[in-house]
Structure 1
């Protein structure tokens, strides 16, 4: 009898262990989760324009995805190029947009969809293709089948003209702020003198008002729309300022015209630096001069200099060896005006103008 009891106990133990293993296997196996049906889009062909930048242009909708755990499901939309959706790095370059928890649709305005398309490499005004899919997340991520979109993005136009630079140097008055002139599409250039004791801060405004302006972003040289943080210049001195609204970057370079010659305090060895009058767009200085020669050069070097071909006129010529003659010692106001549209690409103009007036 004891022999049979032992056999029954052993059999029961094996059955218990087998049942336990089966239970554990069932608990640790993830149930398959998938989208119950296809996602839909309001249109598969879109031609985007600046005129419809703020309009709703695309609605992506999807069915509810059921996970075995009862909790909110978070959804997101992914866009990518067709060629980047296969292989080991599939969808790794996708643009992902959060939709939210337990929502079943997402609307895109033209401006946002255009940025996605351009960022992924579609060319402006050229028809291209993207794929879109929906991601559902809870204890894991599952994805819908993708839909192909045909999209023609647009290139954001930047109006030629001027932008403005209010700052500490002139008391923050937008009406009298320095203007930076467009030298190419979206790129602006201007000049600034910060006097000793003046603050280095400034903003960049798209018009002579405060409706829209840029301040510093992640760094001093990054433009951020409506940022309260001021841009700053290194300190007192004169600068050439360049602003690129295409890349949202700006830069400054030390830059100043000066007078040189035996009539000046520096002789032929050191320029006497002029200041930039941003309202008259002219360089000027009031200085004590002695009888002798006077001409103009940039950044205290002979690389770029102007002298008069005819000293009887107010016109000075690029790289001309001539000079004006100061006949009598005294205090003089000297101005120098040059049309520097874009010296980096077009060079310096052949002529500039000046005035030399004894006070």
Structure 2
């Protein structure tokens, strides 16, 4: 019996040693057990947040929660999720991950997540937020927190747009050039488009896509700049490059043809007396010229006249209608590009060859 006791004691020690090492290698799976999920405590459910582009990098809010309980000393990971209120997180938006008990969002981060979840810019809407805890490397033993609902008013810095499909591009709204409004909620659209013979205007759907079946406008049949959205006619044009203006509230439009663009100024070989014609490239939707310039000044103007010209007030690389003369940095041979393809964000480049 004494010898048996010694063997039993040795065997038990071996079992204890193996068991200890097994637990050490994977403590989370062997020892830890979920006893209670994290609990969101801040912000309070019902909090309202109005986000702002002017404060994009400022903290909008900080989530704080109580630790999840796994009945063990183990590292816990937390994943934050957001969803449009009432959707039961059917399509959750990832809001960030951390090993802490808090997570801060800047205005921009929360705005991006809210828009992705389905909120509309400048319209208050409810977003549900929850935290999911887990342990180990495989997101094991997940526990889900309580859900809080926060009322959020997001923003957008993207200008609203309408498309201009026509026979200049195969009547395909999805790939058509666009016009942009001056700000969100405005109805004054403008932009430059190469036209052939007929075109129309198409609004985006709720997801921002352009397609037939959306609201669209054409001429009322008088061809005097009046738009209608029912029983409309295609708007006529002669081939050329146009500056289009559309007001979808007052239902008016205008089309001014500016097909000839040139470079003029004291920095050009012809001075301020005449233009140096630029060439249009339909593939890039830009005008360009390769030319010798002196370290002086230039501007862009249309149709060999001063009624329509662009400079650069503030020397920021963005064109302003009637803006300041553009300084040429040094004498040399340049490739100059005039780019009207992005509505209301007209630009140019001077590249020394």
Bin of the TM-score, shorter chain as denominator length? 0.3 to 0.5
Which is greater in Rg? 1
